[in-house]
Chains A and B, each alone.
Chain A
Amino acid sequence: MQATTIAQGGTRMRTWAIVLLLSLLLVLCAVYSITVGRYDIAMWDVWLILWDNVIPDQAPAWTPLQADVVEVIRLPRILAALLIGAGLAMSGAALQGLFRNPLIDPSIIGVTSGAAFGGTLAILVVGGGYPVLGAAFAFGIGSLLVVKCLASVKGRTSTLTLVLAGVIVSAFFGSAISIVKLLADPHQKLPAITYWLMGSIAATNYRDLALMALAIVPPSIVIFLLRYQINILSLGEDKARALGSPIEIVQWTIFAAVSFISAGVVATSGIVGWVGLIIPHMARTLVGPDHGRLLPMSALIGAIYLLLVDDIARTATVAELPIGIITSLIGVPFFALILRRTQSRSGWAND
């Protein structure tokens, strides 16, 4: 008993140490990211520009152009990268626990495809702006409702049916996106649709950021509040039922929260894939499977990861690389690695 308490205390200490280290790393990465870019600005000037918001400098040594680069271009996208990375990673960790499958990510429930279709349709019909955001979000949430209708039989939902319903909805919207692309003007709207689908936070402004925060922060809090229920569900449905867990309510609350995050991300930034799949694995190797630790750890690593991806996106070439491309390039080999490892361990460790 005493040995267990000491071991738990050690784990907690270790977790706190890792959280502290990663938090420090996050701050360093964010500061570094503000100084990185085509426009050359010294780190000291960056600090002065930011500090000017707290105590205004009467005789600033920087130019208005430099202030724009820091505050209007870099800062909103850095905050966006943090939000999206944290939100998607938490979503992935929650779903992997819920489905007891390490190869699951938020796109599995069809919300990403639904939101992507909504956005492409809006680009085709309206051209751009907030209608794209609204349509993507509405179709994302709508696709979750369709999945729920397809997967629920007599008030109960089996995991397999739910995954299959997600596959059906994704396939449907995938085809619908192809039709939209076919109808789009090949010189104007088709490139816009293609670029949007690849995911980018290049044009994020503070208004977009506020909307993004609205779609990501509250659902992330909900997911974190349900961390113990996710722990119970990750033992398997039968055991969870025996322990008195309200399985259906927890499942659909998590799905709704994940859908809000995914639809919000697609609506504001296009498709940013693979983050929800690979980041929870990194977090699990550091703090283990307890979702009380796994969820915040995933959020931290996800934020750092997407921040670094965005740094690559905006500095690799003079053109902006869509972040969705980079996350895919990193995610695919990582996915293959996980697949090999899970095969060698015969799937989910608890089964």
Chain B
Amino acid sequence: MKVLRVSAGRGLALATLVALLTASPTGAQAEVQFLDHRNQVIVLESPPQKIVSMFASGPLVHYAVEGSSDHIAGVNKKAKAMYEGSFYAQLIPEFLKLNMNVAGEGFAPNVEAILEIKPDVVLQWVFDPKLIEPLERVGLKVIGWDCCTNQHRREYLTLSGYTSGRIDRAQTILQKQDASDQALRRIFADLKPEDTVSILVVDEIKDSFRVIANSSQDYSLSGTRNLAADDTGEWWRTVDAEQLLVWNPAVIVIPAYAAELTPADFYGNAVLSNLDAVKNKQVYKFPQFNRSPDAAEIYLSDDWLARVANPARFPEPKAFRETVKDGYKLIYQKDLTEDQIRFILELDQNKESAGYVDIFG
């Protein structure tokens, strides 16, 4: 069987696999070989019945592709905080009952606890070989996931497609993401880089301010530019208040994972009171679909940010609620209620922020 490469020649690999699966009426049970992010050949004779993930986003992506949590057998302890404190607790409540003893707050595996589960595959990050070696030493099959570029995130879907035998679902979700990106590109096609809206993504206010510097997100999709972005490869930068005033962004956004930080914290901060974003009440909390950057619905974040930063370019702002509804229906196969949409859009935290209720309320 041809080995399917995830990172290089993905299109060809997908086409080959799709051809293979469609040739068989019981495609989901066909043997599949593919390369993980270590370029290691993974052979699955049939879709695994028990999957253990060493990180929170593994079950999320797998659920999106497979359409159920039946085969997720465990996840690390840190995932609990993410699932419990977010919309996932409502969306996939069964995740709260997962075995979370397989790893602690980090990604170091608790090998004995994992062996008790007897998983068919274990999903593990590849950035540190020491995280994988103890698993393979005891004969466990490990699928390595790399982090954290946009391309990697697309490939999480593909890897989950291969793993679950539902590459068709992975493709459908990727097509949805691509369509959204293309629509945004058309909207901002005429926007020069210097005319984009300056933003900062701040996730911590203490003695210093922590801002997102990682440039893996394509801010041009939302007609914005991240003033703190750099090419060092570091995810965060910690800066002092003066640096924030030097940047003086037009819009500040707070990632959804920064659970304790709200726009009100900025509006009530004397040091920041004369920042343009604070003065004009343009500090916004990202909605719940931004909770995990690896999750399949993350593409909605670009659309949301585009509407927040450039509302004039969206003549039908209310249409976004339908976009959210469609996205969750496609990915999680669940119909959102109005209350759930309000919760996802963080209407309560953003109610003070300029235009938010008009656009999304």
Query: Residues on A close to B: CB < 8 A?
Result: 37-40, 63-65, 67-69, 72-73, 128, 185-187, 192, 195, 200, 202-203, 205, 314, 318-320
Contacts of A205 in B (CB 8 A): 270-271
Interchain CA distance A128-B274 in the complex, whole Å: 25
Instruction: List 5 A-B pairs, Cβ < 8 Å.
Output: A38-B246, A65-B245, A73-B245, A200-B207, A319-B208
B105 within 8 Å of A by Cβ? Answer: yes
| Known A-B contacts A38-B246, A186-B105; A195 and B239 likewise in contact (beta carbons under 8 Å) | no
| Known A-B contacts A186-B106, A202-B208, A319-B208; A314 and B274 likewise in contact (beta carbons under 8 Å) | no
Residue of B whose beta carbon sits closest to that of A68: B274
Contact between chains at B240 and A320 (CB < 8 Å) = yes
B interface residue count range (under 10 / 10 to 19 / 20 to 34 / 35 or more): 20 to 34
Contacts of B275 in A (CB 8 A): 65
Interchain CA distance A68-B244 in the complex, whole Å: 12
Contact between chains at B207 and A195 (CB < 8 Å) = yes
Contact between chains at A318 and B270 (CB < 8 Å) = no
Contact between chains at B270 and A320 (CB < 8 Å) = no
Contact between chains at B238 and A65 (CB < 8 Å) = no
Contact between chains at A65 and B207 (CB < 8 Å) = no
Contact between chains at A68 and B248 (CB < 8 Å) = no
Residue of B whose beta carbon sits closest to that of A37: B242
Given A73-B271, A320-B240; 8 other pairs, CB 8 A cutoff: A37-B242, A39-B242, A39-B246, A68-B273, A185-B105, A186-B105, A205-B270, A314-B242
One of A65, A187, A314 near B240 (C-beta < 8 A): A314
Q: Which residues in window 165-183 of B have CB below 8 A to A? A: none
Interchain CA distance A195-B238 in the complex, whole Å: 12
Residue picked from B237, B241, B248, most chain A C-beta under 10 Å: B241
One of B105, B106, B237, B242 near A73 (C-beta < 8 A): B242
Please name the 6 residue pairs, one residue from A and one from B, whose CB atoms are nearest each other, closest first.
Answer: A38-B242, A64-B274, A319-B238, A203-B207, A202-B207, A320-B240
Contacts of B246 in A (CB 8 A): 38-40
Contacts of B240 in A (CB 8 A): 38, 202, 314, 318-320
Contacts of A186 in B (CB 8 A): 105-106
Contact between chains at B243 and A65 (CB < 8 Å) = no
Q: How far is the CB of A290 from chain B (nearest CB, A)?
A: 39
Contact between chains at A318 and B239 (CB < 8 Å) = yes
Question: Per-residue 0/1 for B220-259: is the Cβ within 8 Å of any A Cβ (1 yes, 0 no)?
Answer: 0000000000000000011111110110100000000000
Q: How far is the CB of A199 from chain B (nearest CB, A)?
A: 10
Contact between chains at A318 and B207 (CB < 8 Å) = no
Q: Which residues in window 75-106 of B have CB below 8 A to A? A: 78, 105-106
Q: How far is the CB of B42 from chain A (nearest CB, A)?
A: 30
B206 within 8 Å of A by Cβ? Answer: yes
One of B105, B207, B271 near A320 (C-beta < 8 A): B207
Interchain CA distance A200-B206 in the complex, whole Å: 11
Contacts of B270 in A (CB 8 A): 72, 205
Contacts of A187 in B (CB 8 A): 78, 105
Contacts of A202 in B (CB 8 A): 207-208, 240-241
Q: How far is the CB of B347 from chain A (nearest CB, A)?
A: 26
Contact between chains at B245 and A69 (CB < 8 Å) = yes
Contact between chains at B237 and A318 (CB < 8 Å) = yes
Contacts of A320 in B (CB 8 A): 207-208, 238-240
One of A73, A128, A185 near B241 (C-beta < 8 A): A73
Residue of B whose beta carbon sits closest to that of A202: B207
Residue of A whose beta carbon sits closest to that of B105: A186
